[in-house]
Amino acid sequence: MSWDREQPFVIDIEVTAEHIDGLGHANNAVYVTWLERCAWEHSQSLGLGLDDYRRLDRAMAVLRHEIDYLASAYAGDQLRMGTWIVESDQRLKMNRAFQLVREADGATLVRAMTTFVCIELSSGRPKRMPPEFIDGYGKALVQPYPLEL
């Protein structure tokens, strides 16, 4: 597997019939659900799950997705999605990069960047990250470098 950055957190994805649209390939909206799944699984691996979010009255909410669709995925494809936390101001915002690779040929199908903002769950307003977020997400922060999307 040729990853854009070292040591990604990786999930496996199998493209099934429910992912396929009228054009015969995975629908672009499905990729967003895969990004979300990968981000959540990575957060949980860092010790930050939904129960922690509720207990802390904080969450990292999506502010912006940037997605480049480079090649199509088809039913039966086995995919691997990697993610890295590439930037954090350790106050409000955090950026997470993603790369989706097809196992059969190593082709990168998608590159994406998601910007998250820390919010207070009870009000929905932006709020500083609690120390648990700074520590948990901070240990996964990799040094950013220019990457064309």
Averaged pLDDT for residues 116-126: 98
The predicted structure's pLDDT at residue 114: 98
Convert the pLDDT of each residue in 46-95 to its tens digit. 999 999 999 999 999 999 999 999 999 999 999 999 999 999 999 999 99
* Element of type H or E holding 33: helix 28-45
The answer, yes or no, to whether residue 148 has pLDDT greater than 60, is no
Percent pLDDT > 90 in the chain is 95
The strand pairing partners of 81, in sequence order, are: 11, 100
83, 45 contact by CB (below 8 A): no
Averaged pLDDT for residues 112-122: 98
- Number of CB atoms found within 10 A of residue 38's CB: 24
Residue 108 has phi, psi (to 5 degrees) of -80, 120
